């Protein structure tokens, strides 16, 4: 068994006013993710492409409100979450690590800027 000591999300909140997802982590960090950015980052084969084939997102200039409205988050094993979108799309798996690295809070933004 691989030791997995990365922080894990313990709860989430959908902030409809700001169209953002707020995740609370086991190390007490609160990460912020705009729905729009999450949708554009969907890593599934349909959106991001697979085996050299371009995905749906590469052919789009913009996404509809439905496509960027997050309605739920479902756990995937013990390593990731699947966002469920208002248009029914739910095949993108975001690992905890990826989600955490996408945090848009000031603190994390400063850290990535330094790198």
Residues at the site binding Zn ion, with contacts judged by CB under 5 A: 31, 42, 44, 47, 92, 103, 105, 108
- Please tell me the distance from the alpha carbon of residue 96 to that of residue 80, in angstroms, as a whole number: 5
The DSSP code sequence of 40-99 is HT--SHHHH-BTTBPPGGGG-S---TTTT-EEEEEEETTTEEEEEETTS-----EEHHHH
Nearer to Zn ion, 31 or 68 (CB): 31
- Please tell me the distance from the alpha carbon of residue 24 to that of residue 7, in angstroms, as a whole number: 10
Nearer to Zn ion, 14 or 108 (CB): 108
Nearer to Zn ion, 2 or 27 (CB): 27
């Amino acid at each position: 068994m691989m030791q997995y000591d990365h922080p894990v999300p313990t709860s989430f909140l959908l902030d409809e006013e700001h169209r953002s997802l707020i995740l609370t982590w086991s190390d007490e960090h609160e990460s912020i993710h705009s729905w729009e950015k999450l949708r554009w980052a969907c890593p599934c084969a349909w959106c991001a492409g697979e085996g050299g084939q371009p995905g749906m997102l590469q052919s789009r200039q913009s996404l509809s409100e439905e496509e960027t409205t997050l309605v739920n988050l479902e756990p995937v094993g013990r390593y990731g979450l699947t966002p469920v979108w208002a248009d029914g799309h739910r095949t993108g798996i975001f690992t905890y690590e990826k989600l955490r690295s996408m945090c848009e809070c000031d603190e994390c933004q400063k850290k990535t800027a330094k790198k």
